[in-house]
Structure 1
């Protein structure tokens, strides 16, 4: 047995082979071990790739441990030799250390991890700090149609959505304040996507895949983008706090964009931002790079992947990256639609606008959300069907 042999991400096990009354041992090649203890998925993976990923091997070893007291691993990859010691008289139950058993994990986390890593590789690890909206656009997760509706006029979009919704819901009566529903969709959708992206940045940092830094940037009156100085950041925070107090608002109130006090706040804040700091607007910019290593990027990522601490892949072709984007968008949209159906049941939410409350009461809130997901090309997977009337 080689000194310091390891389990490729599993806990290192240094053992004595001789124990009183328990000297049974057995040696397996990787193929033999998978054949005896592997799951159907692990057997298929080995047959297809001739090897197991780090995460797959870790899961296999957890199964082995339920029948053997200890084991060692020699060699690497498909040439690994696994020696098991001390056959248990009674098989152990698999220990599941996941406190929430999968709950709370991000929808499409594997895809989003992989897309971020792949983007940095494609850009040769030279990416300037960007807003989260720009990151989502660059990753092609958010269609430019949605970004156009965020920053530009929404009237044309509203008319198109009303027309599409009217085709499948004959009882729908369009109204001018349907714009409130459009506003909610844009804000809620982007907030969810941006939150997921930040979570992925944090997980990639924790797994030592990337270095991530958040900076505050501003757009000047001459359309130049630059990082703001600490003094400027403090002045902006002070101005924002002063105006919130002046209009008797809290930060959460700003989500209610149709509220007259919120409109007044935004107008004055933008005006004073230009007058006092020479800025059109400011934003959080996120800077990411893959961590440096003497191994080189690909070798370094492969080692991290084998460790199994984070589920991701890299080296995507243009076609596979496109496919992964579609999978992520479909997964996120299915989750988004499910949550909209839950929100529809809450007709007493005080932050809802009048039109949103009305659509919830008419049971048209979630169906319109479904149309919006399709209209803004958030998914191709959801099929719009007329309701059963």
Structure 2
């Protein structure tokens, strides 16, 4: 199919209201406005050629596309490469959806990450343990029994968990990007488990719940990291007790008490576009891999899975190394001062120099030892390997350490 537009016809069909008004007033378009319109035209046609100059120019379009193509925007691509594993992650998600292998349309981000193969079942279980002291203890026992950590080094597991948690935000960005490109439908829904089982939470009620949580965190002077890493702190225990009571009192839009025990966010992800549109998505944002995709899809997928796993580990280890260097610098600059010589004499009677430094550092002795002995990075790498072993029964894996 072929179509030739005059400039006026092009503006009428593809221009914004502002561009239409500008053309009506001036009888022509500046280059910036014209190029902006051409980008939209290229989403509908395979070939777009400009003939002539000024207001008399004609635009020859051929090869009408069945599905709207992605808007070509170099800024989007370059921005999405800031995380090393973002591109292979895009590929994994796009091809998984293309093959329509998903069992459910709506799941939590964690379950979607497992569904797409971005994390293992065991890693998903580790991320869930943030909300369960019993489950967290199983993971602590697992890390100790595997020889990766010692009893006084369990805080390292919390730090590793925080690094792993970033995959959720990265997956959301991928899905949002695919939605903008017209590949999928993507929306969220809040769910809760209450006295009558699983229920969907009205957005307005959820807004109130989140507001109450923020106010309660402010009241008890805690932040999200405290709730994960400092579970035994008095202020965290006080917050959890009051938060549990607050949740149980939440009412629905009809004034009925829901008796909520816990809540979570689910995401609906539905493939909207055809296989051709998925290919154009990969062509636009993953152009280096397109030839392999066209010639051998299975090889393409396997290579991107391996690339993703390697680059994700590199990303986590970079952040771990940054923290390692930061802590070593803190230890190096650590100074201990006392109000009076009498205070110093009295305190040093009870504490060694090393104990005083550890108190000032506010850091677990075992993890500090890993930093000082340059074993911190090695242990972090071992945790990554431990939680990224595929092909086992997750339940049996944890039952073995209970």
1:360 maps to which of 355, 371, 374: 371
1:221-269 deviation per Cα after TM superposition (whole angstroms, max 9, x unaligned): 4542x32113431331243133213312245543533343223323432
1:201 maps to which of 175, 200, 206: 175
Structure 2 matches for 1:1-389, cutoff 5 A?
4=4, 12-16=48-52, 105-123=82-100, 127-149=104-126, 150-151=128-129, 153-162=135-144, 164-165=146-147, 175-189=150-164, 191-221=165-195, 223-224=197-198, 226-251=199-224, 253-258=226-231, 259-276=233-250, 277-291=258-272, 297-305=274-282, 308=284, 321=301, 324-347=304-327, 348=330, 355-377=366-388
Alpha-carbon offset, residue 193 of structure 1:
0.8
Alpha-carbon offset, residue 326 of structure 1:
3.4
* 2:397 alignment counterpart: none
1:191-210 deviation per Cα after TM superposition (whole angstroms, max 9, x unaligned): 22112101111211222212
Q: 1:319 to 1:75 in 2, by over 3 A?
A: closer
Q: Secondary structure at the match of 1:107?
A: coil
In structure 1, distance between residues paired with 2:50 and 2:385: 56
Q: 1:141 to 1:126 in 2, by over 3 A?
A: closer
CA contact (8 A) 2:105 2:270 kept: no
In structure 1, distance between residues paired with 2:362 and 2:99: 43
In structure 1, distance between residues paired with 2:314 and 2:244: 36
CA contact (8 A) 1:218 1:282 kept: yes
Q: 1:300 to 1:338 in 2, by over 3 A?
A: closer
Q: 1:302 to 1:368 in 2, by over 3 A?
A: closer
Structure in which a larger fraction of residues adopt helix: 2
Q: 1:125 to 1:291 in 2, by over 3 A?
A: farther
Q: Secondary structure at the match of 2:106?
A: coil
* 1:27 alignment counterpart: none
CA contact (8 A) 1:217 1:285 kept: yes
TM-score by length of 1: 0.61
Q: Secondary structure at the match of 2:374?
A: coil
Q: 1:165 to 1:135 in 2, by over 3 A?
A: same
In structure 1, distance between residues paired with 2:95 and 2:80: 26
Q: Secondary structure at the match of 1:130?
A: strand
Structure 2, unmatched stretches of 5+, are 6-40, 54-59, 65-72, 251-257, 332-360, 391-402
TM-score by length of 2: 0.59
Q: 1:74 to 1:248 in 2, by over 3 A?
A: closer
Q: 1:243 to 1:156 in 2, by over 3 A?
A: closer
Q: Secondary structure at the match of 1:217?
A: strand
